[in-house]
């Protein structure tokens, strides 16, 4: 059983909601909390709570850092929460996301995996708040970066300073970067499978379509649930040796192999099977 905290900027790209659905669909996950980050974190928290409620789950949800450490302005799509009803009826926990992360990890050393699928501000603040977090978190699983240096990836770019704090700490980290996640694609056939899921299907379908239609796409890339799947189904991935990761002032990501490193890069070696397994979890 994996004891997991999901740290997310849910509500913008649909893949955060898909990741939450996949985690809730796994019998191997004890999802002990959800922490939200970046911008309107209360709205993001109520979106997560609404999804949980549809499957009769009450998962403690904590609003986190709304501003970036770097000072970069928060970007939103403007469609966050538009497909949801009665979000005002949900209230996040009073405790801050950072305090929850620190307290949970320190009180349960080496037992909690944190899956971080948004900007890394909450994780960076947890590291700054209590260095025991670095020593006692089991592993942080990140969707972010582009270690081919072909572009600056969104999650890292949103808060470069936070990404630097996390990557250059001694936290054990596994990263699915953008080029690796882009090997997995869900097309209309898979989207229809999600639509037919008994509880979350209709809402997830509306979120998918709200994301892809303005972009004139009939497909999307499930970056975040694939990052989560690396923890749940490692057989679909290969892992690099350990290395050190850095990020420059523009947000470009770099990694160098070294036995003393703390960062492992993930690569889906069976992307089609990974997508199939992801959809099985979402539609459970």
pLDDT value at residue 213: 85
- Pick the residue with more confidence: 55 or 76? 55
Report percent pLDDT > 90 for the chain: 88
State the DSSP string of the chain: -EEEEEEE-TTSSTHHHHHHHHHHT-TTEEEEEEEE-SS-HHHHHHHHHHHHHHTT----EEE---S-SS-PPP---S-TTTT-S-GGG---BSS-HHHHHHHHHHHSTT-EEEEE-S-SHHHHHHHHH-THHHHH--EEEEE---TT-SS--HHHHHTHHHHHHHHTSS--EEEE-HHHHTT--EEHHHHHHHHT-TTTHHHHHHHHHHHHGGGT-SEE--HHHHHHHHHH-GGGEEEPPPEEEEE-TT--EEEEE-TT--EEEEEESSHHHHHHHHHHHHT-
Per residue in 189-220, pLDDT tens?
A: 999 999 998 899 999 999 999 888 888 888 99
Rg (CA), the chain: 17
- 2-282: in CATH 3.90.245.10: yes
63 pLDDT above the threshold of 90: yes
Q: Work out the average pLDDT over 222-238.
A: 96
The pLDDT confidence band at residue 83, using thresholds 50, 70 and 90, is confident
78 pLDDT above the threshold of 80: no
pLDDT value at residue 42: 97
76 pLDDT above the threshold of 90: no
Model confidence, pTM: 0.97
Contact 124, 162 (CB under 8 A): yes
53 pLDDT above the threshold of 90: yes
Report percent pLDDT > 70 for the chain: 100
Contact 166, 173 (CB under 8 A): yes
């Amino acid at each position: 059983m994996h004891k997991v905290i999901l740290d997310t900027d849910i509500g913008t790209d649909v893949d955060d909601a898909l990741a939450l659905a996949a985690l809730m669909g796994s019998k191997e996950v004890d999802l002990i909390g959800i922490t939200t980050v970046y911008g309107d974190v209360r709205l993001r928290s109520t979106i997560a709570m609404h999804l949980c409620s549809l499957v009769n789950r009450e998962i403690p949800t904590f609003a986190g850092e709304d501003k970036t450490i770097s000072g970069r302005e928060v970007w939103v799509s403007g469609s966050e929460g538009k497909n949801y009803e009665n979000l005002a009826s949900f209230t996040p926990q009073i405790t801050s996301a950072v305090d929850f992360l620190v307290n949970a990890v320190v009180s349960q050393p080496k037992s909690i995996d944190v899956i971080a699928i948004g900007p890394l501000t909450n994780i960076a603040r947890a590291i700054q708040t209590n260095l025991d977090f670095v020593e006692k978190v089991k592993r942080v699983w990140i969707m972010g970066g582009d270690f081919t240096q072909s572009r600056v990836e969104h999650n890292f770019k949103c808060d470069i300073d936070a990404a630097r704090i996390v990557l250059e700490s001694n936290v054990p980290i596994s990263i699915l970067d953008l080029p690796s996640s882009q090997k997995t694609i869900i097309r209309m056939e898979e989207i229809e499978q999600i639509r037919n899921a008994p509880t979350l299907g209709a809402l997830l379908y509306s979120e998918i379509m709200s994301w892809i239609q303005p972009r004139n796409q009939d497909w999307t890339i499930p970056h975040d649930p694939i990052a989560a799947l690396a923890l749940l189904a490692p057989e679909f991935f290969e892992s690099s040796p350990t290395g050190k990761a850095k990020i420059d002032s523009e947000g470009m990501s770099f990694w160098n192999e070294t036995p003393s490193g703390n960062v492992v890069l993930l690569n889906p070696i069976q992307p089609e099977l990974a997508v199939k397994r992801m959809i099985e979890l979402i539609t459970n």
